[in-house]
Structure 1
Amino acid sequence: MITTLLALEDRLAQGQDFDRLLHPEFFEFGRSGRRWTRTEVLAELSGHGDQPSRTAVSAYQLAPDCWHLSWRSEGTRAAWRSSIWVQTAAGWQMRFHQATPIP
C-alpha cells in the first residue's frame, strides 16, 4: 500500500490530477503554517515538478478504506509530512495533509 500511496503523492507533487486526487472536503496545513482549502489548492498550486526525497516512510491502515501516510521530505523543503487517504467511488483521494517544517 505504501507504494500506491507514494505514487499518488508523486502525481500531486508534479501538479497532476489535483481535481481527481483531492477529496471534495480536502484541507491542508502547509509547511508555511497556512491552512489551504481544496479550492485554494486547485486555484493556486501547480506542483513544483520534482520528486521529493523521502525518508522515514510509514503507512498505517486506520479503517478498511482509510490510510495514514507519513514521511520526511529532505533538502530545502525539509518537513515531516502526513496525509490521510480515503478510498471513494472516484478512487483513492487525499482527505487531509499536513507539513511541519524541520529546522
Structure 2
Amino acid sequence: MGMELQAHLFALEQELQGYATRSDAERLGHLLADDFVEFGASGTVWGSKAEVIAGLQDEVFSPRRMSGFTVKMLSRGVALVTYRGHRQGVGDSLRSSVWREEHGQWRMVFHQGTPAH
C-alpha cells in the first residue's frame, strides 16, 4: 500500500469530520457505501445510510482531529483505517473504519467509535 492511498483515506476521513460535509446530504451519499453501518461511541447503532445522513443533519457540531492514523489493507480494494479521535468538549475515542473501493471511488462501509481514557 502506498503513502498515496494512506493520504487519500486520511483526507476522506478528515472530510467526513468537517461541518461542510456533515451538513451536505449529497456529499455524504457519495462517501458512505449503500450498506454502511456505524457503531457509535455513545452505544448507538446506525443501521442504515439514510439514518446516519439524517442524524448528521441534526448534529450539534464540535471540531474533531485525528492522531495515530494507520491504514491496513484487508484485501484488494478493502482497507481498515484506525486512529484516535479528539473531539472538542467531548473527549477522545478510538476509531476504526472499513473503506471499500467501488468503481474507482473509496466509500466507507463501516465505522466504530469506542470511548478512550
Normalising by structure 2, report the TM-score.
Answer: 0.78
Unaligned runs of 5+ in 2: none
AA partner of residue 21 (structure 1)? L
Choose the corresponding residue for 2:49, options 38, 52, 69: 38
Aligned to 1:68: 80
Q: Alignment RMSD, CA only?
A: 1.7
Paired with 2:14 and 2:111, the residues of 1 have a C-alpha distance of 14
Normalising by structure 1, report the TM-score.
Answer: 0.88
Moved over 2 A (4+): 46-50, 74-77
Aligned to 2:114: 100
In our comparison, the structure showing a higher alpha carbon Rg is 2
Paired with 1:73 and 1:30, the residues of 2 have a C-alpha distance of 12
Q: 1:35 to 1:90 in 2, by over 3 A?
A: farther
Percent of aligned positions that are identical: 30
Larger RCO (alpha carbons 8 Å, 6+ apart): 1
Choose the corresponding residue for 1:59, options 71, 78, 81: 71
Paired with 1:88 and 1:49, the residues of 2 have a C-alpha distance of 30
Q: What's the CA shift for 1:77?
A: 3.3
Which SS does the other structure have where 2:43 is aligned?
Answer: coil
Paired with 2:78 and 2:9, the residues of 1 have a C-alpha distance of 11
